[in-house]
Structure 1
Amino acid sequence: MTVAPQIDLLDRKFDMCFGHADQNNDGVVDAADILTFAARVIAAVGEPFDSPKATGMLRACQNWWEGMVAELDTDKDGKIDPQEYRVGMRRIVGSPSAFDAASRPVAEAIWKLCDRDDDGEVTAVEFSAVQLAFGTTPENARLGFEKLDLDNDGTLSVEELMIAFRDFYTSTDVNDNGNWLFGADFQVA
């Protein structure tokens, strides 16, 4: 196991995710950014916006936002800046139960969107469609899928996705498979 300086590695991960959330690139995350992100994921997989999966994703992201702004918005301006995000995420990832409570509904909603044929399994092709919403290249999505498929059965379960979320946000091991959540884009040189 190769352990990087914890603060530097986690801050890099938090910064990357902050960038995913800041949809209009104005340097802060607000409710509009989160709903835009949800819409981008829904559109990336071609899901109708009035479907149960789409409304579930929108609801999960709305709830996630409400929890995050209550927890991280220390100046109470209705926005989260990069420093608030870093400090708040360090606090959240320090509590496994708080992290799971905050992230599981969004992970499950994303997983359901990925599972295009509703067979209870997410294939590499299905995973790749959602990864496009994160700006991940098809090659990086393929590499990420291979690393996240922990049982090598050719599919991702919601539990494998939760492990990836948890490891990405909490692990200081640069070789952890969870660092592949967004493909090779995050790999440490």
Structure 2
Amino acid sequence: MTITAQDELLDRKFDICFSHADQNRDGVVDASDILTFASRVISAVEEPFASPKSVAMLQVCDDWWRALVAGLDTNGDGRIDPEEYRVGMRRIVGSPEAFDAASRPVATAIWQLCDRDGDGDVTAEEFGKVQAAFGATPENARLAFQRLDLDGDGSLSVNELMIAFRDFYTSTDPETAGNWLFGADFQHGRGA
């Protein structure tokens, strides 16, 4: 199989996503990593853990984990290694329906947590808090926000963020705005 520039681009993105999920950095993703990820996002946005948004985030991440392990854990060990993740994600991004089913609930829960006042828009400050949970520096969060604010109105709609989320995970276009979802590190070959 010939590796194309588009394959390499997607692999870099998948590696970044894997690193976000592998919270304890042991080289595999398991249920505790996903719970830690959810808790980290909730803490970053300063949402009370008993709130409906937090409970929804925890439930969605539990559901997400169950779907990931069922679909990507090919050796049945209850963990997902980087190769299983890449192979499984290639299959998922190849189908818009599969991608939406796998990712939309998690992305929606994250952006609803990010939208602190529930007005449907995310400010630069709100966005920065979620980006911190993903390990982005304040500068990277600022750069990402500027690139993703396509209409220049100073806020990101939850819909704009969902489009960026989809573009980051699925687009093979190196110039898509969604590639800025996690800031400049991705642009400079870092971020995994």
Matched, 1:49 2:69: no
Q: CA deviation at 1:119?
A: 2.0
The residue that corresponds to 1:153 in the other structure is: 153
For residue 187 of structure 2, what is the amino acid of its counterpart? Answer: Q
CA–CA distance in structure 2, aligned partners of residues 107 and 155 of structure 1: 17
Q: CA deviation at 1:188?
A: 4.2
CA–CA distance in structure 1, aligned partners of residues 26 and 59 of structure 2: 24
Percent identity of equivalent pairs? 74
CA–CA distance in structure 1, aligned partners of residues 14 and 133 of structure 2: 18
What are the ranges of 5 or more consecutive residues in structure 1 without an aligned counterpart? none
Indicate the SS of the match to 2:174: coil
The residue that corresponds to 1:85 in the other structure is: 85
Q: Kindly tell me the number of residue pairs found equivalent between the two proteins.
A: 186
The residue that corresponds to 2:16 in the other structure is: 16
CA–CA distance in structure 2, aligned partners of residues 148 and 68 of structure 1: 28
The residue that corresponds to 2:184 in the other structure is: 184
The residue that corresponds to 1:113 in the other structure is: 113
CA–CA distance in structure 1, aligned partners of residues 129 and 12 of structure 2: 24
Matched, 1:74 2:74: yes
CA–CA distance in structure 2, aligned partners of residues 180 and 120 of structure 1: 21
Deviation digits for residues 46-104 of structure 1 (CA, Å, limit 9, x no counterpart): 11100011111111111111111111001111100000000000000000011011111
The residue that corresponds to 1:143 in the other structure is: 143
Report the more deviating stretch, 61-70 or 156-165. 156-165
**RMSD, aligned CA:** 1.2
CA–CA distance in structure 2, aligned partners of residues 102 and 156 of structure 1: 23
8 A Cα contact 1:174 1:188, kept in partner? no
Q: How high is the TM-score relative to the length of structure 1?
A: 0.95
Deviation digits for residues 9-44 of structure 1 (CA, Å, limit 9, x no counterpart): 111110111011001111100010000000000001
Q: How high is the TM-score relative to the length of structure 2?
A: 0.93
